[in-house]
Chains A and B, each alone.
Chain A
Amino acid sequence: MNNIQIFEIEIEDYRQYVDNQTIDLRNSSDKHINIVEGQNGSGKSNILNAITLCFYGEETHTDSNDEEGLDSDPLVSKKRLQDLSVGDSVQGHIEIVLGKEEPQYAFRRTFSTARQEDITVNERREPQYNSSIGDLRLRQRIGGGNDWKPNPNPENILQEILPTHVHEYFLFDGEQLDEFFKTGYTDLVRAAVLDISHIELVNSAVDHLKKVQREFESESSELGGDIENLQKRKEKASQELERLQTKKSNLEADKEEAENKLDGVYTDLAGSADDEVREAQHRRVYLEERLDEQDDELLSAKKDVGNSLAKAGGVAYNTNALTYAIEQLEKYEASENGIPGLTEELLRATISNNECICGTDLSECESAREHIEELLDEQTSESQDAIEGRLRMERALEEGDDLIEDLLDDLKQLEDKRTSIAENEDELLSIANRLEDEDIIDNERAKGLEERRQSIQSRISSIDRDIGELDGKIEQQKEVIEERREEWREAMKEQDEHNLLIKQSEFLDESIDWFSEIKSEVLEKVRGDTEARLERYYNDLIWKNEDYEVILTGEYEVRLYGPDGRKNLGSLSAGERQVLALSFMAALSKISGFSAPVVIDTPLGRISSEPKQLIAQNVPDYLDDTQVTFLMTDVEYDEDVRAYISNEVANEYHLDYQDGVTEVTTR
């Protein structure tokens, strides 16, 4: 057999299966059907449940009509729980051995049931249980021998054999199939076609690309300022700078014009016929030129003072500290231990005489000699450092006095310059007053010229102030422009990044569209294959001697057309619906391509006697090379059915159910 088959199911203390029971289901190449037969309630459904519980941790069959009520029962067999004390628990397990030609994988899941405090219902004490399941475990056969080793990834292996999302098309309850095509079934059909289409890769790619695209869009929404507004703000700032600079140019032109006029007045005054006026004007020109020079001299004098202060400041500020330190060093030198000359002389004499003051002969005692030599080195070094330090401080104090004297000289010169400037300015004012005052210089023209000069001079001073203010504003405006340029540059860069992200998002959009289109094509192919097989299987299985056309629409609606036209699915009998659903399941399991065994509980439950043989024979034929295990009631597995399929049956079991316990026996 090329497909995976179940070699055996080992059930221990699960539901009505007490102790350890093993069902051997090994098939041969020509026999691929297993029959497990038993009356209703004997435990057929719990074999299906045991398989899904072991593999997926869930029980598929949840028929509440079952006399024991599967949902409410503890997992561990009740027989094992009878003597259980409150707080104690019992464990069971299910192990399923799978493989192709030989057993290869042994999946096992343990479960346990613990007894809790009893409760009283209608004055009766009823025991309470709590069940839990363990993790799926797997042993894998190594080579062809009996060496089985644990595999740490049971879930991965199981997903390769029969993934969780498709197991319901391989392991299912036939009796419940007639419920499949009820209202709203198209969603189930769509999901089923999706499940078996193997397009997880494309789905995952689309999902991931959409997430990346959302991240791009989120990033792009945070980028990009108002470029147009920032551009305007930048241009407006530049215009304001131009306006200020133009205003400054105009003022400079006004100033130049005023200075020309002033030169004219000066020429007139200098050319006056009045000696006194002419002399006063010459003196003024001299003083003004001198004041220009003195401005430079004043600046130079200020620099000299600054330099002198920098040089003299260090010593001047630390004079007290230096004086104190010198006093301390002098005391140290004057102390008995600290007189370097004496100590040094004594040590040198001792070494020279080869005799220590204690009487030791140093030529006889090398260690004593070395000790005295070390003392001499230390003493010499410390003494020299102290003396050097004191001398430096004394020199610094002496130099400090000179530096302070230099500073005082520079300060005096600065003060002299200021005084001289003030005197020259006073004299200039005096000249102006003299020229203006007719009582001093009786010259009306000179008075007029002087008044005009003062007016022009006042105008020039005013222009200088305005130009000074404008210079400040121009500098500020240049800073504003640079800030706005930076804002604009950042925004332009962000806009570029924004545009790039948009392009990248569009690129992803196109890729997603392609993936979606490919996905639709794959789904359309799977839908077409499903439709073809569904029609073929239904016509083979249905007992009526009529041809049916089965359409699976793009919206996953199943339409059935008979000789009399379209048949409403709601009008089909329970048996017809079960056949349709069985055909669908067989088609899905076939098309899915998974190499997994099929287990069908109550496959013929809703089918009347006549077509049972057809179904029992055909369904396994559709699933050629696939192990098919039917869990049948004694009514389903009647002699006719048995005769029809006997050539393909590998194993037949009977479930013997007595006193709440099921025993699996060979038929």
Chain B
Amino acid sequence: MNDSEVHSLILERVDEIEDDDIRSFMRSVLEHERDIINEPRAEYADQYKSLVDDYVGNESLGDYSDE
């Protein structure tokens, strides 16, 4: 299997994941990893934290001004 065949296989498997958030997140990660391969100095940590925030956001944070 060459490079593109393996990547197709990986993407096919990712697309089979039922959880929409996980599937979408993993696709975004793979896309970014592709960019990193082309640009090894590309940043990933902030990008992935931001993606995780999109899927597991901070809307649950409470306001404790009132008891």
Q: Does A332 sit within 8 A of B, measured CB to CB?
A: no
A392 contacts the other chain (Cβ, under 8 Å)? no
A485 touching B67, Cβ below 8 Å: yes
Q: Is A661 in contact with chain B by the CB < 8 A criterion? A: no
- Known interface pairs A504-B56, A508-B52; A198-B1 also in contact (CB < 8 Å): yes
- What is the bound-complex CA distance between A198 and B19, given in angstroms? 26
Digit string of A189-233 for contact with B (CB within 8 Å is 1, else 0)?
000000001111110110011011001100000000000000000
Question: Given the complex, which residues of B lie within 8 Å of A500, measured CB to CB?
Answer: 56, 58, 60-61
Cα–Cα, bound, A318→B27 (Å): 81
Residue of B nearest to A488 (CB): B64
Interface centre among A488, A496, A592 (most CB of B within 10 A): A496
Q: Which residues of A contact B3 (CB under 8 A)?
A: 198, 593
CA distance A489 to B62 in the complex (A): 10
| Contact digits for A526-561, partner B, Cβ 8 Å, 1 yes 0 no | 100100000000000000000000000000000000
Residue from B14, B21, B37, B52 in contact with A204 in the complex, judged by beta carbons closer than 8 Å = B37
Mark contacts of A91-126 with chain B using CB atoms, 8 A cut-off: 1 yes-contact digit, 0 otherwise. 000000000000000000000000000000000000
Q: How far is the CA of A500 from the CA of B25 in the complex (A)?
A: 17
Say whether B13 contacts A526, CB under 8 Å.
no
Partner of A518, one of B1, B10, B49, B64: B10
Q: Which of A198, A208, A529 contacts B48 (CB 8 A)?
A: A208
**Which of A259-267, A320-328, A509-517, A570-578 is near enough to bind chain B?**
A509-517
Minimum C-beta distance from A348 to chain B (A) = 76
Given B2, B21, B48, which contacts A212 in the complex, CB threshold below 8 Å? B48
Closest to B1 in A: A593
Cross-chain contact A496 with B60 (CB below 8 angstroms): yes
Chain B residues lying within 8 Å of A211, measured Cβ to Cβ, are 45
A592 to B45, CA, bound (A): 31
Q: Given that A198-B2, A198-B3, A496-B61 are contacting pairs, would A522 and B49 also be in contact in the complex, using a CB cutoff of 8 Å?
A: no
Instruction: Name the contact of A511 in the complex, choosing from B5, B22, B65 (C-beta under 8 A).
Output: B22
Q: Is A594 an interface residue (CB 8 A)?
A: yes
Cβ-defined contact, B17 with A205, below 8 A? no
What's the count of A-B pairs with C-beta under 8 Å? 104
In the complex, whether A492 has a CB less than 8 A from a CB of chain B is: yes
User: Number of B residues whose C-beta is below 8 Å from A?
Assistant: 37
Q: Counting CB contacts under 8 A, is A644 at the interface?
A: no
Question: In the complex the two chains form, is A511's CB within 8 Å of B37's CB?
Answer: no
A198 touches B6 (CB 8 A): yes
**A205 contacts B49, C-beta separation under 8 Å:** no
CB pair A522 B10 closer than 8 Å = yes
Q: How far is the CB of A346 from chain B (nearest CB, A)?
A: 79
Residue of A nearest to B26 (CB): A511
Q: A489-B65, A492-B64 are in contact. Are A200 and B52 (CB under 8 A)?
A: no
Q: Which of A489, A504, A515, A522 contacts B52 (CB 8 A)?
A: A504
Nearest B residue (CB) for A506? B56
A525 located at the interface, meaning its Cβ lies under 8 Å from any Cβ of chain B in the complex: yes
Q: Are A201 and B44 in contact (CB-based, < 8 A)?
A: no
Residues of B within 8 A of A209 (CB): 29, 48
Q: Mark A479-507, 1 if CB is under 8 A from B, else 0.
A: 00000010011001100110110011001
**What residues of A have a CB within 8 angstroms of the CB of B30 in the complex?**
201-202, 205
Cβ < 8 Å to A, chain B residues 20-34: 21-22, 25-26, 29-30, 33-34
Nearest CB in chain B: distance from A627 CB, A: 17
- A179 near B: Cβ within 8 Å? no
User: Do B2 and A593 touch (CB < 8 A)?
Assistant: yes
Q: Whole-angstrom distance from the CB of B67 to the nearest CB of chain A?
A: 7
Name the CB-closest residue of A to B58.
A500
Determine whether the beta carbon of B34 is less than 8 Å from that of A511: no
Of the candidates B3, B45, B52, the one having the most CB atoms from chain A within 10 angstroms of its own CB is B52
Cα–Cα, bound, A521→B13 (Å):
9
A84 on interface, CB distance cutoff 8 Å: no
Indicate if A162 sits at the interface (CB-CB under 8 A).
Answer: no
Question: Which residue of B1, B2, B7 contacts A201 across the interface (Cβ within 8 Å)?
Answer: B7
Contact check, A525 vs B1: say whether CB atoms are below 8 A apart: yes
Which chain A residue lies CB-closest to B19? A510
Say yes or no: A201-B10 contact (C-beta < 8 A), given A209-B29, A211-B45: yes
A591 at interface by CB-CB < 8 Å = yes
Is A510 a contact of B33 with CB atoms below 8 Å? no
Taken together as a complex, chains A and B put the C-alpha atoms of A264 and B21 apart, in Å, by 82
For residue B50, give the distance in angstroms from its CB to the closest CB of chain A.
10
Complex interface residues of chain A between 442 and 480 (CB less than 8 A to chain B): none
Known: A198-B1, A205-B33. A510 touches B62 (CB 8 A): no
**A507 and B56 contact, CB distance less than 8 A:** yes
A488 CA to B66 CA, complexed, in Å: 12
A594-B62 Cα distance, complex, nearest whole Å = 54
Given known A205-B33, A208-B44, A493-B64, contact A529–B1 (CB-CB < 8 A): yes
Q: Please report the C-alpha to C-alpha distance between residue A525 and residue B5 in the assembled complex, in whole angstroms.
A: 12
Looking at the complex, which one of B19, B34, B56, B62 makes contact with A492 (CB distance below 8 Å)?
A: B62
Residue numbers in A under 8 Å from B13 (CB-CB): 518, 521
B45-A525 in contact (CB<8A)? no
How far, in whole Å, are A216 and B45 apart by their CA atoms in the complex? Answer: 11
Q: Are B2 and A594 in contact (CB under 8 A)?
A: yes
A7 to chain B, nearest CB (A): 23
Which B-chain residue is minimally distant from A159 (CB atoms)?
B37
Bound complex: CA A507 to CA B55 (Å): 9
Contact B36 A514 (CB under 8 A): no
User: Chain B contacts of A485 at CB under 8 A?
Assistant: 67
B7 to chain A, nearest CB (A): 7
Which residues of the partner chain B approach A525 to less than 8 Å between Cβ atoms?
1, 9
Closest to B23 in A: A514
Contact A503 B56 (CB under 8 A): yes
Complex alpha-carbon distance, A592 and B4, angstroms: 11
* Pairs of residues from A and B, 3 with the lowest C-beta to C-beta distance, nearest first: A593-B2, A198-B6, A489-B64
Q: List 24 A–B pairs whose Cβ atoms lie within 8 Å, in order of A's numbering.
A: A197-B6, A198-B1, A198-B6, A198-B7, A199-B10, A200-B37, A202-B10, A205-B26, A205-B29, A208-B36, A208-B45, A208-B48, A212-B49, A492-B64, A493-B61, A493-B64, A499-B60, A507-B52, A507-B56, A518-B10, A518-B14, A522-B10, A525-B9, A593-B5
Query: Besides A198-B2, A497-B58, A504-B53, 20 other CB < 8 A contacts?
Result: A198-B6, A198-B7, A208-B48, A489-B65, A492-B64, A493-B64, A497-B61, A500-B61, A504-B56, A507-B21, A507-B25, A507-B55, A507-B56, A510-B22, A514-B22, A515-B26, A518-B10, A525-B1, A525-B9, A591-B1
